Structure 1
Amino acid sequence: MDVCRLDISGLSTTCPRRCSCDSAHSVQCYRTTEVPREIPSTTRRLYISHSKIKQLQITDFRRMSALEEVVLSCSGTESVENNTFKALSTLKSLELHKNHLTRIPTFLPAGLEILKLGDNSIKTLHASDFEGLRELRVLDIRNNLVATLRLSAFSSLGNLQSLTVDGNKLESVSAPSNLPSLKYLSMANNRISTFPPSFFASFQNLQFLSLSGNFLTKVPLDLPKSLLSLKFEKNRLKTIRLRDVKHLENLSEFLLSENQLSSIDGAQLLPNLTTLELAKNQLHAMPLRLPGRLQKLDCSNNLIQRVTAQDFQGLQDLKHLFLDNNAVRVFEAGALQQCVQLSNLALEQNLLISIPLRLPDTLARLDLKGNGIEDVGEQELKDLKQLQVLNLRNNKISALNRKVLEYLPRLRHLYLDGNPWNCTCDLLRTRRALMDKGTDVRGGQCAAPAERRGESWMSSSKILHQCQDNLSSMEKGKEDRKKMKPYDSSSIGANTDDDYYDYELD
Structure 2
Amino acid sequence: MKELNLLMSFPFVDDYCPPACVCYDSVVQCSNKSVGKVPYGIPYGTRQILLMNNYIKGFQPDLFVKYRSMEVLVLSDNWLTDGAIKGAFSEVPSLKRLYLDGNRLKNVPTDLPVSLEELRMDNNYLKAISAGAWSRCPGLFILRLGNNNLGHGPDSFPDAVLSSLRNLHTLSLNHNQLTAVPLGLPPLIKELYLKGNLIQQVREDAFRKTRALEVLDLSANRLTNAGLRNSLNATRLESLNLEGNRLEHVPRRLPPSLTSLNLEGNAISSIKKVDFSRLKKLELLGLAGNKIFQVAPGAFRELASLHRLDLCHNALQQVPRQLPRGLCVVALTNNKIQSVPHDAFCWGNESRSLRGFVEVHLEHNLIEVGKIDARCFRCLQGFQLVHSD
TM tier, smaller: 0.7 to 0.9
Alignment partner of 2:222: what SS? coil
Question: What is the identity, as a one-letter code, of the residue corresponding to 1:183?
Answer: E
Tell me, in whole angstroms, the C-alpha distance in 2 between the residues paired with 1:327 and 1:295: 23
Please name the residue that 1:3 is paired with: none
1:206 lines up with 2:95 in the alignment: yes
Alignment partner of 2:163: what SS? helix
Q: Given the superposition, is the C-alpha separation of residues 108 and 118 from structure 1 closer, same or farther in structure 2, using an over 3 Å criterion?
A: closer
Please name the residue that 1:343 is paired with: 238
Question: What is the identity, as a one-letter code, of the residue corresponding to 1:112?
Answer: D
Tell me, in whole angstroms, the C-alpha distance in 2 between the residues paired with 1:480 and 1:222: 68
Q: Deviations over 1:325-371 (max 9, x none)?
A: 0111134344222x222111000000011111111111111000110
Alignment partner of 2:206: what SS? helix
Alignment partner of 1:381: what SS? coil
1:175 lines up with 2:73 in the alignment: no
**Alpha-carbon deviation of 1:215?**
0.7
CA contact (8 A) 2:285 2:308 kept: yes
Q: Deviations over 1:438-493 (max 9, x none)?
A: 441110444488xxxxx959986537837x5xxxxxxx646356499512227xxx
1:112 lines up with 2:8 in the alignment: no
CA contact (8 A) 2:101 2:123 kept: yes
CA contact (8 A) 1:331 1:356 kept: no
Please name the residue that 1:187 is paired with: 75
CA contact (8 A) 1:421 1:445 kept: no
Alignment partner of 1:244: what SS? helix
CA contact (8 A) 2:176 2:196 kept: yes
Please name the residue that 1:440 is paired with: 329
**Structure 1: where are the runs of 5+ without partners?**
1-106, 121-129, 450-454, 469-475, 491-506
Tell me, in whole angstroms, the C-alpha distance in 2 between the residues paired with 1:236 and 1:249: 24
Q: Given the superposition, is the C-alpha separation of residues 377 and 162 from structure 1 closer, same or farther in structure 2, using an over 3 Å criterion?
A: same
CA contact (8 A) 1:459 1:488 kept: no
CA contact (8 A) 1:288 1:311 kept: yes
Tell me, in whole angstroms, the C-alpha distance in 2 between the residues paired with 1:157 and 1:355: 58
CA contact (8 A) 1:457 1:463 kept: no
**Alpha-carbon deviation of 1:210?**
0.5
Q: Deviations over 1:178-211 (max 9, x none)?
A: 2222221111111111225422222122111110
Q: Given the superposition, is the C-alpha separation of residues 379 and 118 from structure 1 closer, same or farther in structure 2, using an over 3 Å criterion?
A: farther
TM-score (norm 2): 0.80
Please name the residue that 1:462 is paired with: 368
Tell me, in whole angstroms, the C-alpha distance in 1 between the residues paired with 2:87 and 2:377: 73
Give 1:91-170 correspondences, 5 Å limit.
Answer: 112=15, 115=17, 137-149=26-38, 153-154=40-41, 157-170=43-56
Aligned length: 349
Which residue, 280, 291, 295 being the options, matches 2:190? 295
Tell me, in whole angstroms, the C-alpha distance in 1 between the residues paired with 2:376 and 2:316: 24
**Structure 2: where are the runs of 5+ without partners?**
1-9, 339-360
CA contact (8 A) 2:292 2:316 kept: yes
Alignment partner of 2:271: what SS? coil
Tell me, in whole angstroms, the C-alpha distance in 1 between the residues paired with 2:256 and 2:19: 50
Please name the residue that 2:267 is paired with: 372
Give 1:400-439 correspondences, 5 Å limit.
Answer: 400-423=295-318, 427=319, 430=321, 433-434=322-323, 436-439=325-328
CA contact (8 A) 1:336 1:360 kept: yes
Larger deviation, residues 288-297 vs 304-313: 304-313
Alignment partner of 2:49: what SS? strand
**Which structure would you say has the larger Rg?**
1
Which residue, 130, 133, 146 being the options, matches 1:257? 146
Tell me, in whole angstroms, the C-alpha distance in 2 between the residues paired with 1:137 and 1:274: 28
